[in-house]
Amino acid sequence: MSLDKSSVQEIKKYHCFVLLIVVGIFCFLAITKISWDHQNLVFLGVKLPRLCLLGRIVSFGCPFCGLTRSLWCCIHGHWTGAFYYNYLGILLFIGLVAQFPLRFYLIFFDRKGISTQRLDSRLSEIFFYLALVRWVCVVVIFLRHGG
């Protein structure tokens, strides 16, 4: 099945959009710091608030707590810190880094207009389920130790 030129252009726009988001994430995390208490990111001297509502209510947070700090550690080469904050951040980092060669190929060298939206969706689902399993383990450990 051959796609018309406008469909191929739309698919390439999608790949450009994904690449811009990844570049934005990396740039933002490259210019931030982690606060002295290791609880927040600091951007231009301003301590950013924690956004996890569940983490404010109970002491173990949500399935995604620590992902931003974990990504920050990966970008700055602090692998043990990344594992400590949320080990799924290392997987997310690898997935984000893999976007660079993939999207460059699909934008500049692909003539057929290969769409990765279905694959992107499936990978997001898998990551969500991994985060959920991690969170259930955290809750069980929290409850076993007396909460």
The pTM of this model reads 0.83
Instruction: Find the domain containing 111 and state its range.
Output: 5-144
**Distance (Å, whole) CA 87 – CA 89:** 5
Q: 114 pLDDT exceeds 70?
A: yes
Query: How confident is the model at residue 144, as a pLDDT?
Result: 85
Q: 36 pLDDT exceeds 90?
A: no
Mean pLDDT, range 95-120, rounded to an integer: 89
For 18-36, b/e burial (b = at least 16 CB within 10 A) is bbeebeebbeebeebebee
Q: Please, how many CA atoms are within 13 Å of residue 52, restricted to the half-sphere of its CB?
A: 17
Which H or E run includes 34? strand 32-34
> pLDDT-derived band of residue 57, with 50, 70 and 90 as boundaries?
confident
Q: 1 pLDDT exceeds 60?
A: no
**Is 38 exposed, middle or buried (CB count within 10 Å of its CB: 0-12, 13-18, 19+)?**
exposed
Provide the domain count of the chain: 1
